[in-house]
Amino acid sequence: MVTIRQAATMNPAILGIHLEGPFVSPKFNGAQPRDQIQPASISKLADWQRASGNRVKLLTYAPELNRSARFERYCQENGIHLAVGHSDARFGDLEQCQINHVTHLFNAQRGLHQREPGVVGYAMLDHQSKVELICDGFHVVSPVVKIAYQIIGPDRLELVTDAMEAKGMPTGQYQLGGQPVAVKNGRATLSNGHLAGSVLTYDDGFRNMIQFTGCSIADAVKMTSTNQAREFRLNGKGSLELGSDADLNVFDKHLNLMATYSCGK
């Protein structure tokens, strides 16, 4: 947290922190070490928030294990959006929570079943929630990406990379949370074969979304920029309106990334 706080003072592109755990379900831990999972704690979250300089903006947790009106109220009062993820929550659990965000849809969560909608069903039906999607073709295969796009739509989907330290690096051995990770052919995996985050770059995710779904460039921009800016009320971000920050990616007609500008530089 301290490292991120220090980096953010030098780099205005660091807009906040997403705490993806440790208040999650051991059943859906994904690549998170089970021995690090713990019950939700206001005091610990407050410590992390202080250490980060109040930069925690999004918290993924498992509400079926950590349901607490007091905890939810603390997050709301401190500008922390609550997300369901790494969770075995049932549809009914989520209807009672102050959830407005779903972490990486389909991955590490209770899926859709004809007798229990689960987290996936909630994401599809709750029109107030923003819904993340890892668009690398490994975490979610292309036909399922298209299904999500057609059901949830470009106004609620938010593309994420879920990338770890090996992003942009060659094939080899890396680490995630102290665990060895092998990267080969665009996949990052633990020794047991489970996916360990991704090595997806955001421009690749942008192109993949267009290729997988046939969506327009305008809709792809919504899902990679505008929706996030609106959800977190990032003034000056997510649009090219007069007075907005000059944060731009420039692509050629084949969608190859040619240049990136941050605040006009």
Catalytic positions: 162
Residue 192 vs residues 1, 24, 72, 246, 250: alpha-carbon distances, Å: 29, 20, 35, 44, 39
HSE-up (13 A, CA, CB side) for residue 38: 8
Q: How far apart are CA 162 and CA 167, in angstroms?
A: 10
Q: Are 200 and 163 in contact (CB under 8 A)?
A: yes
Q: How far apart are CA 88 and CA 65, in angstroms?
A: 9
- Residue 67, Cβ density class (10 Å: 0-12 exposed, 13-18 middle, ≥19 buried): middle
Beta bridge partners of 184: 187
